[in-house]
Amino acid sequence: MAEAAYAKGLEGVVAAESEICRIDGEKGKLYYVGYSIEDLARHSNFEETTYLLLYGRLPSREEMEGFSGRMRSSRDLVPEILDMVRNFPRDAHPMELLQSVISYLSGYVRHKIQHSATCNCRDTLHQVVQLASVVAAWHRFHQDREYVPPRLDLSHGANFLYMIRGEEPDEYEGRVMDACLVLHAEHGFNASTFTARVVASTMSTCYSSISAAIGSLYGSLHGGANEKVMAMVEQIGGSDRAAQWVNRALDEKQKVMGMGHRVYKAKDPRAIIMEEFLLELSRRKNDTRYYDILKEVERAFRERMEEKGKPIYPNVDFFSGAVYNLLGIPKVLFTPIFAMSRVSGWLAHILEQRRDNRIYRPKSLYVGSAPREWTALEHR
């Protein structure tokens, strides 16, 4: 075999075949198992999308009812998990809790299962479902409020809002939250998904693989961009100051968060949908400040980039933080929400990795010292 070319960050390297996700970066298209993200966000829900990712097809009505029932019945947390969440260090980030709790969850499966690299992880949906419950519980405890048990009659997104608020969201808010989970459920071989597959390739368990993926997502270059976008918006303060802020940031070689994507050469299709949600939520709440600032940032940034012949477009993080903010979700929960969405995609990739597994073992390009003679300690 010819020596492979070096690609920093594995950019452009094909590491495996996959049937799960297709990204057409040139045209700004995203597909889960062949279905466009536009159709899924508008017509599906998080439970059905999870089924699609795990089984590779859409369910029948009977299959959907059974699967949804299993997901919803897995939402509640046992007292031991609640104690762990309640007693986790107060100054720790919730992503650190999620990475720890996913392994703890493996000990509290309510039905008998062999934890192994060959078990059918579709049977243990609580490692998908309960991340949302853990995030909600953490939020409640940090407000010195009691845990709100889940409701079985609400969608995954609406139930999450109910568990953090203690009151049922209106129908549109619940629909938006659930659609946001769909938008973040899968995105090919991103850093956290690749991490999950690497761990799975060692024949480790799904819990260990997901825990590792959460650690990868916690990095500021991966999961925390929408939080930084909101910090930018708050720093700008008003749409009339956005252009000046953008120009100064670009002159000082600063990064404008939420603009550009390593894969997309057109506008991120998820950003288009998020923008629609933000506009409608802003109108319903009679508060367009975030929307106005972001649109002016987008306009000013695009204008500067087009002058250089470099059209760069918003990614999903550009609008998602403002959507979550209008839903009453604090910034510290933005990345955990990413995790509780992406866990469906992680599990799908773990199962796919196991089907035709080969342990990942790439080479490195050695650039260190030439062979050297040993020198005894007394002569150094």
Task: Supply the residues annotated as catalytic.
Answer: 222, 261, 317
Cα(194)–Cα(248) distance, rounded to whole angstroms? 36
